[in-house]
A = this chain, B = another copy of it.
Amino acid sequence: MMVSVNAPNRESLRSRRRRETEREIHLAALHLARAHGFDKVTVEMISAEAGVSPRTFFNYFPNKDAAIVQGPAELSEELAAEFVSAGPAPAKQVLTELTRLLTRDFSEHPPQREEVHAAFELAREHPQVLAVLLARFDAFAVHIADLVGRRLGEEAGDEVPALMAAIALAAVRQGLDRWARASDDGSPVPYVERSMDLLRTLLAP
């Protein structure tokens, strides 16, 4: 009983520490990229700034580009589980609830405007950063497609989950980009909602 009670806590502690180290390396990388310019930063500099060895660095990131650029995080497990467990529903209702899920998650875990801004700006200037950012957004879309698929009892690659994820991705990417470029330290939620509304308007019959 001790084991089964404690195991989840131990695991969650380990995974929390891992997340913290990952975040420290990321913030060190972002700080150095801003201070010295993207091209000047090396893995050695990032490791030294974060207080880890280069070997540890490579346990977390394959290269400096990946350390500098973070994409949208996966949705919180509680919100995701709530969405999935609501079960099959008409596609339109699922899309409405997916939108609500995204905006709730952004409200509860607000992204840092400066970080998002820096990521989009670096991506505009450096093709290799754009490649990383696009891969992160694509992973986010795959995550969304997986949630929609599980809810509908379909595969993530099936038409409806894949297209819903594409819609969510477009709204999140455009919304975040616009929010990051605006001088708005408030929430990105209205920007994402506005992009979603505009998508609806464009595709309305």
Binding site for B on A (CB under 8 A): 91-92, 95, 127, 130-132, 134-135, 138, 159-160, 162-164, 166-167, 169-170, 173-174, 178, 195, 198-205
Contact = CB atoms under 8 A, between A and B. Distances in A.
A62 B95 CA distance: 40
A204 B92 contact: yes
Per assembly, the copies of the chain total: 2
B202 A167 contact: yes
Given A131-B132, A134-B134, A166 B173 contact: yes
Contacts of A204: 92, 203-205
28 contacts: A91-B201, A92-B204, A95-B203, A134-B134, A134-B138, A159-B174, A159-B178, A159-B198, A160-B202, A162-B174, A163-B170, A163-B174, A163-B198, A164-B202, A166-B166, A166-B169, A166-B174, A166-B199, A167-B170, A167-B202, A167-B203, A170-B170, A199-B203, A200-B203, A200-B205, A203-B203, A203-B204, A204-B205
